[in-house]
Amino acid sequence: MSRIGKLPIDVPAGVTITVDSDVVTVKGPKGQLTVPHLSDVTVSIDGTQSIVTRKNDEFIAKSQHGLQRALLNNAVVGVTKGYEKKLEINGVGYRVSGGGQKIEMLLGLSHPVIYKAKDGINLSLDKMIITVNGIDKQAVGQTAAEIRSIKKPEPYKGKGIKYVDEVLRHKAGKAGK
């Protein structure tokens, strides 16, 4: 049995879960998310807990068991607490401005880079740190990865955009005579 799939999901007060044949809807204080209802598992609500069980012991059912539980748990956490990723910009002359849905970055390129976030994602700035907030874990991670890919940190001086908790491995520079 899946170690992740067999764990019950605690549903806090103020969160409602609606199970349909093809989608599971999670509503909470921060918004609403929909999760696909996979075919070989069933989702049941038992008081203040939600339980995911699989229909049989076939390979695909075992695969979907943990996945369905993880997606549902991420949705419950998203509509109650939300998700956040922080990016740090390092480099001489690098600047960032804006906020909300759109930020403008000067990253040593020939032109300023303007990044527009999708709906449901909020970008906020604190000096040289970009904070990506939202209720959808996948969308927050994807947005942070797209911003980082604009100017990845280089291994010699560490200039570029990196996650705040990311550890860079620095290379030695050119050896002198």
Measure the CA–CA gap between 23 and 75, rounded to whole angstroms: 12
pLDDT value at residue 3: 85
In CATH, which superfamily holds the domain spanning 9-80?
Ribosomal protein L6 (3.90.930.12)
Q: Kindly state the average pLDDT of the residues 120-129.
A: 93
- Give the residue among 161, 154, 62 at the shortest CA–CA distance from 107: 161
Asked if pLDDT for residue 47 goes beyond 90, the answer is no
What pLDDT band is residue 100 in, cutting at 50, 70 and 90?
confident
Task: Delimit the CATH 3.90.930.12 region(s) of the chain.
Answer: 9-80, 83-163
CATH number at 83-163:
3.90.930.12
Name the phi and psi angles at 76, rounded to 5: -65, -45
Question: Helices 59-80 and 137-150 sit at what angle, rounded to 10 degrees?
Answer: 80
What pLDDT band is residue 21 in, cutting at 50, 70 and 90?
confident
Measure the CA–CA gap between 17 and 25, rounded to whole angstroms: 6
Asked if pLDDT for residue 176 goes beyond 90, the answer is no
What pLDDT band is residue 1 in, cutting at 50, 70 and 90?
low
pLDDT value at residue 37: 93
pLDDT value at residue 26: 94
pTM of the complete model:
0.88
For 25-80, the three-class secondary structure string (H helix, E strand, C coil) is EEEECCEEEEEECCCCEEEEEECCEEEEEECCCCHHHHHHHHHHHHHHHHHHHHHH
